[in-house]
Amino acid sequence: MNRYINIALNKFESVPVSLRLDPDQDIAAEKCLVDLARLYHHYYLDSYGRRPPYPEPSQFEYLRFLAETRDFRILGGGIGDSTAKKRNASTELGQAFCRWFLSEHLNITYFAHMDKVLDKDPVDEFEGFKVLRVENGDAPDYLCAENMYSVYLAEAKGRYKSINFKNREFEAWRKQFSRVEVRDKDNTLRSVKGYVVGTRFATEENSSSVNSGIFAEDPQSPGDLKLDDFTASQVYRKIQKVHFADIFEKLNQPLVAAALIMNSVISDQLRIQAVTWRLALDSVGQMEFVGGYWKTSPGDLPFSLKQDGSISTYPPDPFRLDHGRGVFIGLERKVFESVCRSVRTNEAEKRPIAQPIEDIPPFYSAISLLRDGSILGPAEFFIPTGFIEV
């Protein structure tokens, strides 16, 4: 479930340790390994609302278009028969690779699509912070964050043609950062560090010397001063709210999702109910998740409620081997509870609404766990443990 992809960096102060030939030397490797389950995880979070992850991370919907090679290479001449379809598919994959690259190698955990923050009226909680369009044309794709003091803009591109840092297309992508401004409560123009991540996709029709590659650069948006710590912390909370609203929508928690987006409050009289699960493997210790599964094939899964309200995990017909299949989506329990608590008060808290979990390396090709606490995997690998109310 892994593929290699070439890496090219430009204007980085130092090479991320995970991309170095030697951790102690500031020299970049020529290529890196892509975990396709995590790539799919980012694609799913980025692309869909309350829809099933089809069918599961180990069967990334674009996986059937990949050649049986060690490098990331697409069958034929690209995905789709028409130019429009190829462009749409390359854009979606480009955004997935952008999120994957920033998350895996630059520790960026939370992502908000620009259309959810651009030209929105500032609210009191964010002390007048705003992102404004100042020029027509494409704007960067994301406002994203590593922590309370590290906020970034990011632009994602995907294409089949050659990419390099000196060609006309890359220069046009850089200019997108000049089309937006970040201003604080005093209307001071603030400079925000950004990343352009362009991914070139090689196909079977290319020669073997042409490989898929990620071309990453870190330009800055225009500004008089760097983003101050106070404003950055407020921007961070906004990014987290948009990020988790997308996840809570997928968890069938529309009330929490709406409260996060609208900066609203849920009454204590309305309890947020959910099911807790644990992974049947010991790879994540005693970690619990809140979520559920989408059924992806006919037949019953071995999860049901008994008459006394307890949970049964015994197959309804243990003699049969053709049980149904499903895909589980969940959020680490402490993260879930922290986000839920954040929509119980309208106080302008200065702390994050949730903390990232410990980064756990990939441990099974069909399961993906990200630092935001979200997890995807086959339902049969998860066991329900009980119910919670927050």
Q: Which residues contact 44 (CB under 8 A, 6 or more apart)?
A: 53, 57, 376
Task: For residue 362, tell me if it sits in a domain.
Answer: yes
Residues of the chain with pLDDT under 50: 124, 126
Task: For residue 325, tell me if it sits in a domain.
Answer: yes
Task: For residue 196, tell me if it sits in a domain.
Answer: no
Name the residue range of residue 284's domain: 240-389
In the block, which residue shows the tokens 């961070």? 236
Task: For residue 354, tell me if it sits in a domain.
Answer: yes
SS (H, E, C) the chain: CEEEEEEEEECCCCCCHHHECCCCCCCECCEEEEEHHHHHHHHHHHHCCCCCCCCCHHHCCCHHHECCCCECEECCCCCCCCHHHHHHHHHHHHHHHHHHHHHHHHCCCEEEEHHHCECCCCCHHHCCCEEEECCCCCCCCEEEEEECCEEEEEEEEEECCCCCCCCHHHHHHHHHHHHEEEECCCCCEEECEEEEEEEECEECCCCCCCCCEEEEECCECCCCEECCHHHHHHHHHHHHHHHHHHHHHHCCCHHHHHHHHHCCCCCCCCCCEEEEEEECCCCCCCCEEEEEEEECCCCCCCCEECCCCCEECCCCCCCCCCCCCEEEEEEEHHHHHHHHHHCCCCCCCCCCCCCCCCCCCCCCCCCEECCCCEEEEEHHHEEEEEEEEC
Task: For residue 259, tell me if it sits in a domain.
Answer: yes
Task: For residue 351, tell me if it sits in a domain.
Answer: yes
**Predicted pLDDT of residue 204:** 94
Task: For residue 231, tell me if it sits in a domain.
Answer: no
Per the structure, the count of domains in the chain is 1
Long-range contacts of 19-23 (CB under 8 A, 24+ apart): 19/105
Task: For residue 319, tell me if it sits in a domain.
Answer: yes
The CA-based dihedral angle spanning residues 277, 278, 280, 284, taken in that order and rounded to the nearest 10 degrees: 150
